Amino acid sequence: MKSTEFSRPASRPPATPTPGAGAGAGTGVADPVFAERYRAMSSRDSRFDGQFITGVHSTGIYCRPSCPAVTPKPSNVSFYLTSAAAHEAGLRACKRCLPDAVPGSPDWNIRDDLAARAMRLIIDGAVEREGVTGLAARLGYSERHLTRVLVDELGAGPLALARAHRAQTARLLLGTGLPISEVAFAAGFGSIRQFNDTIAAVYERTPSELRSRMQAAVRPGYASRNGAEPTGEPGIATTVTLQLPARAPFDGRGVLGFLGVRAIPGVEAVTADSYSRTLRLPNGFAAVELSLAGSPAAPLVSCVARLTSLADLAPLVSRVRRLLDLDADAQAIDLALAADPLLTASVAGTPGIRLPGSMDPEETLFRALLGQQVSVAAARTALSRLAEALGDPFPDAGATPGLSRHFPTAARIAADGRDVLRGPAARIDTVIRVAEALASGELVLSYGQARETLESSLTALAGIGPWTAGYLAMRVLGSPDILLTSDLALRQGAARLALPGDAKRLAAHGAGWAPWRSYAGMHLWRAAGPAAPSRPEPA
For residue range 46-67, what is the model confidence (pLDDT) as tens digits? 878 888 999 999 999 999 998 9
* Cα separation, 484 vs 506, whole angstroms: 10
In this prediction, residue 101 carries a pLDDT of 79
For residue range 261-290, what is the model confidence (pLDDT) as tens digits? 999 999 999 998 999 999 999 999 999 999
Of the residues 100, 124, 327, 487, only one is catalytic, namely 487
Res. 209: pLDDT tops 60: yes
In this prediction, residue 437 carries a pLDDT of 97
Of the residues 31, 49, 63, 312, only one is catalytic, namely 63
Handedness of CA 403, 409, 414, 416 (dihedral sign): negative
Burial class of residue 272 (count of CB atoms within 10 Å of its CB; 0-12, 13-18, 19+): exposed
In this prediction, residue 229 carries a pLDDT of 46
In this prediction, residue 50 carries a pLDDT of 85
- CB atoms closer than 10 angstroms to residue 375: 15
* Cα separation, 64 vs 93, whole angstroms: 9
- Residue 342: phi and psi, rounded to 5, are -80, -15
For residue range 384-436, what is the model confidence (pLDDT) as tens digits? 999 999 999 998 777 778 999 999 999 999 999 999 999 999 999 999 999 99
Query: Which is higher by pLDDT, 346 or 213?
Result: 346
Confidence of residue 225 (pLDDT cuts 50, 70, 90): very low
In this prediction, residue 204 carries a pLDDT of 85
Prior bond to 249 cis, omega within 30?
yes
pTM of the model: 0.86
Strand partners, 293: 300
Is 487 one of the catalytic residues? yes
The residue-averaged pLDDT of 234-245 equals: 79
For residue range 6-40, what is the model confidence (pLDDT) as tens digits? 333 333 333 333 333 333 444 445 688 899 899 98
DSSP code per residue over 183-242:
HHHHTT-SSHHHHHHHHHHHHSS-HHHHHHHHHHS--TTS-SS---EE---SS--EEEEE
Is 392 one of the catalytic residues? no
Strand partners, 301: 244, 292
Average confidence score pLDDT of the chain: 87
